[in-house]
Amino acid sequence: MTLDMAACGRKIGPLIRNYDWKDVILYALSVGAGFDEFSYVYEKNLKVIPSFSVAAIFDFFWAAASSAGVSPEGVLHGEQEIIFYEPVPAEGILTTEGTITDYFDKGSKGALIRAESSTRHSDGKILYKNIMTLFSRRDGGFGGAPGVIRSFFFPERHPDYVVDARTSPSQPLLYRLTGDFFPLHADPEFAAKAGFAKPIMHGMCTFGFACRALIGSLIPGKPEMTKHISCRFAQPLYPGEPIRTLIWKDEENRALWCVVHGISGRVIIDRGIFAYGDRLT
């Protein structure tokens, strides 16, 4: 397929998502929450894991991919950033509008498509801004700019927090019910065509595990204090494998983080930033 360069700046949306407490709890269960995080999985005094904000509007990912004209078998989630203006309520209607903002040519490695969106709740408040990068492995070499690689360094010391978890062998089958039905995460035949031994974890599912680890370590029981979370998806993870979230307190109300494979140590999610505080501005 050929990328549609004219899609840059073209409006995407409005995309509408009606959700309630069952969707919020399903998401929490799909990213590993259980009785030990009861406020995420029971409707009384229910709290929303902030990373639900992307799962709830994942149609925007596919709308951007479709608008850009990417090859479906070659597309992966490259980077994710969410800026929160308000805590996400436990129910309501979300309206999302956005656009593709940039294309970057990585030559034989593929292409990056950057898209941004804003999501408003049915109470009238703008809840969050979503910035995502799609990595299209089969669409590089179109002659565009390569983009700028920003410097990023983790502290040269042991992490302040280390959180271990293990994904279930069937984790993607549960997570896909939150709205990401891409067959790469469920269909062995499709996964093989895409170059993988078997279906892989949704990057956003692993991201949800990390979000829980960050909140539990830095602002336990207070997901509403989350202001910003971002990362780069570095390597695929197969279901059932262990993961480890490493967290460094960087400055007041900010931490750096990554997710590594629990056995090999290879980096699964990199360049993580998490900001939090008493006031959401």
Half-sphere exposure of 179 (CA within 13 A, CB side): 20
Query: Per-residue pLDDT tens for 16-70?
Result: 999 999 999 999 999 999 999 999 999 999 999 999 999 999 999 989 988 988 8
Q: How far apart are CA 262 and CA 135, in angstroms?
A: 25
Residue of 32, 98, 203, 208 with catalytic role: 203
Confidence of residue 280 (pLDDT cuts 50, 70, 90): very low
CATH of 5-139+159-276, one of 3.40.50.2300, 3.10.129.10, 3.40.710.10, 3.30.360.10: 3.10.129.10
Instruction: Kindly state the percentage of the chain with pLDDT values over 70.
Output: 99
Is residue 203 among the annotated active site residues? yes
User: So what's the pLDDT on residue 281?
Assistant: 44
Is residue 200 among the annotated active site residues? yes
Residue of 25, 200, 247, 269 with catalytic role: 200
Residue of 185, 215, 243, 272 with catalytic role: 185
State the average pLDDT over residues 79-108: 94
The whole-model pTM stands at 0.93
Is residue 228 among the annotated active site residues? no
Residue of 57, 180, 208, 229 with catalytic role: 180
With beta carbons less than 8 A apart as the criterion, state whether 111 and 105 touch. yes
Q: How far apart are CA 117 and CA 97, in angstroms?
A: 5
Is residue 185 among the annotated active site residues? yes
